[in-house]
Amino acid sequence: MEYVPGVKISKAEEIEKLGIDRAQTATYCAEMYLIQLLRYGFFHCDPHPGNVAVEAAGPGPNPQPRIILYDYGMMGTLSPQLKAGLVKGFFAVYEKQADQLAEALFEAELMGEDTDKQAVESVARYFISSFSKRFAMNTKTAPATKEEREKMRVTAMQSIGQELAAIGGEKPFRYPEAFPFIIRAFTCLEGIGKSLDKDYDVYRISRRYLTELVDLKDGSALLTAVKGIQARLNLRNEDIAGLVTFPRKITTMKKFQTRLETGEIKLRVRALEVERAMFRSNLLSRACMYGIFACLAMNTVVISFLVMGRALGVLQVLGGAAAYCTIRACICLAKLRAVIRDEKNRYYNSYY
């Protein structure tokens, strides 16, 4: 290891004086991190502007930028499962395959085994659709202000609120210890890229870099090409296997139908609207119950005072019970009010 001098990545004017293209430098920063994550699974955890520099790769009026990273005291390593899942998810997004993206999340062990896979796939499908729309935008049609971008994000989250509520209610997400560093790194690189190039877009850079990583998808670029041809001709292994096993599947489906009709198998359907209605009803019932107990305790306090006089011990106990029930009733009513308000805004996390 040696010290390599360079120009701090945030000093755009000095970079221009070296004849280095700023937009190309921003692109190299994004590609550098994609290589670390997807190809090697070993990455720099803290690429803030103080740890990133650039130098000219060679002589000439328009030299290529060479990125320099400092401070290797904090490095991250991805597990083989997480690395393979990230690669599979990376290709699934750009190939618009929601089922593959959902599978990648499970294979990367980011989702619990008991999580509703259909809900995950629905969210993945919408994510890919939103990603495609975002990718289709150019600098003229993209939201210009921070408020417009935030409104676009909120609208997108609200449109898949029920699916997210179905997943979030089960607490299925698993966050590897490397994930916060990945998010931090991308946030730092986003800031660096925007400071160098106002049209910086990591989505487009990733798309251009897709061909460089094609050998990671199946372990071989040739194998990936063969599988692509098989998919177009419907000659994949699963297609051929389905053709052979289709008669057997019909028999299995007939047996399943028979067992369903005779009651041996019972279907359970999760209705989110019913669950939310029951949640609200439970809050209201608890508030009413606490209110009744509070009134009963207060009536008992009055009667005890009239009958027994100043029996402070009994009065204090009954008064404390009345105050406790009153507070609990108010908490339930406040929670119910917040739930109803959030549901009008299509925000469902208050239920969980």
Residue type, 39: R
CA distance 195 to 183: 19
Q: How many residues does the chain have?
A: 352
Catalytic residue among 46, 71, 114, 199: 46
* Neighbour-count burial of 171, counting CB atoms closer than 10 A to its CB (0-12 exposed, 13-18 middle, 19+ buried): exposed
d(CA 42, CA 51): 17
H-helix segments, the chain: 12-17, 22-34, 80-94, 98-107, 117-136, 146-159, 161-168, 179-196, 202-208, 214-218, 221-232, 237-262, 272-308, 312-344
Report which secondary-structure segment, H or E, holds 43: strand 42-44
User: What is the signed CA dihedral for 188, 191, 196, 197, rounded to 10 degrees?
Assistant: 120
Question: What are the tokens at 2?
Answer: 């040696």
Which residues neighbour 139 within 8 Å (Cβ) at sequence distance 6 or greater? 199
C-alpha separations of 160 from 65, 89, 96, 333 in Å:
42, 20, 18, 28
Q: Is 215 a catalytic residue?
A: no
Residues with a catalytic annotation lie at 46
